[in-house]
Amino acid sequence: MSVNPVFAVYIIPLVVIVFIYLLLGKRSEKRAISVHSEAVEAKLTEPASLHPIIDPAKCLACGACVSACPEGRILGLIQSKAALIEPTRCIGHGACASACPFDAISLVFGTKKRGLDIPHVGPDFQTNIPGIFIAGELGGMGLIRNAIEQGRQAMENIVDGLKADANGRELPLDVVVIGAGPAGFAASLCAMQHKLRFATLEQDSFGGTVAHFPRGKLVMTAPAILPLYGKMNFRETTKEALLELWYDVMEKTGLRIMYGEGVTKIMPVENGFVVVTNSARYTTRTVLMAIGRRGTPRKLDIPGEEQSKVLYRLIDAEQYKGQHVLIVGGGDSALEAAISIAQEAGTTTTIAYRSKAFSRAKLKNRQLIEKLQEAGDLQVLFETTPQSITLTEVVLQQKDETIVLKNQAVIVCAGGILPTGFLKETGIDVEKKYGTA
């Protein structure tokens, strides 16, 4: 019996292609299920910011959203439907929604279980208080490119408003920018470009969240327009390279940032506002808030915490080589800090956590902690809380036992205090979003 040449030439290759497609699809689904199960087990199911929700009635499992995400496989296909498999890693890029050809994805804040406080911001980035604007992470946008674009656009809107309003021109400043992260940096350059009278205040360090990434961490970004510089064309870079570029721009433009200026109050005055910091007062026609959502790091409130050896984030693990280091906390930031420091030569590393297990951390990080612990490179103390810190020691309480450790550095990874109270005191409306846009 002879085989039809058409069958041999067209049908057989088609069958092979379909078989391979289905096989790869099964493997991809298996991985997606595994990743999602790990997230559920670690209780990492609540996205921190803007994130997608998928309408199963519209989703046809084309996989466009999975491929579009620049952060990796945050989405996956499970039972022929797209799903958010690593919710806590989603940073609200929004590329998935743009890539979906069936309009099956909506971008929302918060979930039904966990509400997210979002300040009221209009299309022009102005809050319910005329003259006060918000851009960047505080408004729910954590992506670097989005923050840069929002900072620039918000300042352009401020410029338009100032031109249209003749009142308040006798005030010393046109705008005060609060925060020197991506949004505040772009906004400040835009203010300089338009020759505004402005001040940029930063309570911590230049670069915002980017500056606090661990050394060498890859920063995902996309082309964005930086005023007085132009288009930043790179899509993948390191923290160091990105900050080097920004510092270079700051030096060439002469941009001045007032560091150590933590804003404590914004008070309305005639035709403007008075911005009060821990060391000065600024009278201005408008205010642009470009601060992060973490607000102020949560502290331990114990004796000795004010010492310079106590920090609230890991910047460079190499600086702790050969030291006795204590990490306090049980989330991924604490575990990742402990892992990085424990891998440095000659380091004595301890991680203390008040609960019985690292239930909030990713499985991969928990497994690495266990390996380091088994190898004797890391000491783990559960149900333990710090009591006091001295120049050479730290005192811990574990149930009924007091533990005294030699110590040269303490890193507290206990999260941050959201600035919701500050916003409400200022008069800005804050809405708790439960899975809504």
Residue 378 tokens, joined: 């890391």
Q: Which of these, 416, 396, 401, 393, lies nearest to 331 by C-alpha position? A: 416
Q: Are residues 126 and 261 in the same domain?
A: yes
Q: Are residues 121 and 206 in the same domain?
A: yes
Residue 182 tokens, joined: 């991506």
Please give the average per-residue pLDDT across 270-293, as a whole number: 92
Helices and strands (H and E) in the chain: how many: 10, 27
3-state class of 106 per DSSP? Answer: strand
**Is 226 among the domain residues?**
yes
Report the chain's mean pLDDT, rounded to a whole number: 85
Residue 318 contacts by C-beta under 8 Å, 6 or more apart in sequence? 215, 344
What is the per-residue pLDDT for 168?
Answer: 62
Q: Which of these, 135, 88, 137, lies nearest to 418 by C-alpha position? A: 137
What is the C-alpha to C-alpha distance for residues 226 and 145, in angstroms, rounded to an integer? 10
What is the C-alpha to C-alpha distance for residues 141 and 150, in angstroms, rounded to an integer? 9
**Is 300 among the domain residues?**
no
Q: Are residues 25 and 95 in the same domain?
A: yes
Q: Are residues 144 and 286 in the same domain?
A: yes
**Is 303 among the domain residues?**
no
Residue 229 tokens, joined: 């510089």
pLDDT above 60 for 6: no
Which of 73, 89, 108 is at the close of a domain?
108
**Is 304 among the domain residues?**
no
Please give the average per-residue pLDDT across 31-54, as a whole number: 80
Q: How many CB atoms lie within 10 A of CB 91?
A: 22
pLDDT above 90 for 411: yes
Name the range with the highest mean pLDDT among 6-10, 55-59, 146-150: 55-59
Name the range with the highest mean pLDDT among 150-164, 216-230, 356-370: 150-164
Q: Are residues 333 and 215 in the same domain?
A: no
Strand partners, 117: 432
Output the pTM of the full model.
0.72
pLDDT above 60 for 66: yes
Q: Which of these, 213, 74, 84, 91, lies nearest to 140 by C-alpha position? A: 91
Least confident range of 167-171, 186-190, 201-205, 247-251: 167-171
3-state class of 435 per DSSP? Answer: coil
Which of 108, 133, 161 is at the close of a domain?
108
pLDDT band at 205 (very low <50, low <70, confident <90, very high): confident
Please give the average per-residue pLDDT across 410-421, as a whole number: 83
**Is 302 among the domain residues?**
no
Name the range with the highest mean pLDDT among 10-24, 306-320, 381-395: 381-395
What is the per-residue pLDDT for 76?
Answer: 87
Please give the average per-residue pLDDT across 54-83, as a whole number: 86
Instruction: Decide: 50 and 92 in contact? Cβ < 8 Å.
Output: yes
**Is 305 among the domain residues?**
no
Cα–Cα distances (Å) from 108 to 94, 225, 435, in that order, read 10, 26, 5
What is the per-residue pLDDT for 189?
Answer: 96
What is the per-residue pLDDT for 174?
Answer: 95
Name the range with the highest mean pLDDT among 20-29, 54-63, 65-74, 153-162: 153-162
**Per-residue pLDDT tens digits for 122-165:** 889 999 999 999 998 777 666 777 888 899 999 999 999 998 77
Q: Are residues 83 and 133 in the same domain?
A: no
Q: Are residues 99 and 132 in the same domain?
A: no
Least confident range of 15-24, 361-370, 396-405, 424-433: 15-24
pLDDT above 60 for 268: yes
Cα–Cα distances (Å) from 173 to 54, 162, 223, 258, 281, in that order, read 46, 11, 31, 14, 11
Q: What is the CATH number of the domain that holds 96?
A: 3.30.70.20
pLDDT band at 19 (very low <50, low <70, confident <90, very high): low
Q: Are residues 202 and 320 in the same domain?
A: no
Which of 88, 108, 128 is at the close of a domain?
108
Q: What is the CATH number of the domain that holds 321?
A: 3.50.50.60
What is the per-residue pLDDT for 360?
Answer: 72
**Is 301 among the domain residues?**
no
pLDDT above 90 for 265: yes
What is the C-alpha to C-alpha distance for residues 248 and 233, in angstroms, rounded to an integer? 16
Q: Are residues 411 and 425 in the same domain?
A: no
**Residue 298 burial (C-beta neighbours within 10 Å; 0-12, 13-18, 19+):** middle
Q: How many CB atoms lie within 10 A of CB 437?
A: 9
**Is 407 among the domain residues?**
yes
What is the per-residue pLDDT for 9?
Answer: 60
Residues of the chain with pLDDT > 90: what percent?
A: 41
Q: Which of these, 417, 125, 181, lies nearest to 299 by C-alpha position? A: 417
Cα–Cα distances (Å) from 323 to 216, 255, 306, 312, in that order, read 21, 38, 19, 17
Q: Are residues 218 and 361 in the same domain?
A: no
**Residue 148 burial (C-beta neighbours within 10 Å; 0-12, 13-18, 19+):** buried
Residues of the chain with pLDDT > 70: what percent?
A: 87
Number of domains in the chain: 3
What is the C-alpha to C-alpha distance for residues 274 and 269, in angstroms, rounded to an integer? 7
Residue 192 tokens, joined: 């300089």
What are the start-end ranges of the H helices in 349-426? 363-374, 420-426
Q: Are residues 122 and 188 in the same domain?
A: yes
**Per-residue pLDDT tens digits for 94-114:** 788 888 999 989 888 877 877
pLDDT band at 85 (very low <50, low <70, confident <90, very high): confident
The 3-class SS string of 316-364 reads CHHHHCCCEEEEECCCHHHHHHHHHHHCCCCCEEEEECCCCCCCCCCHH
pLDDT band at 404 (very low <50, low <70, confident <90, very high): very high
> What range does the domain containing 319 cover?
310-415
Between 69 and 12, residue with greater pLDDT: 69
pLDDT above 80 for 348: yes
Q: Are residues 199 and 155 in the same domain?
A: yes
Between 53 and 208, residue with greater pLDDT: 53
pLDDT band at 167 (very low <50, low <70, confident <90, very high): low
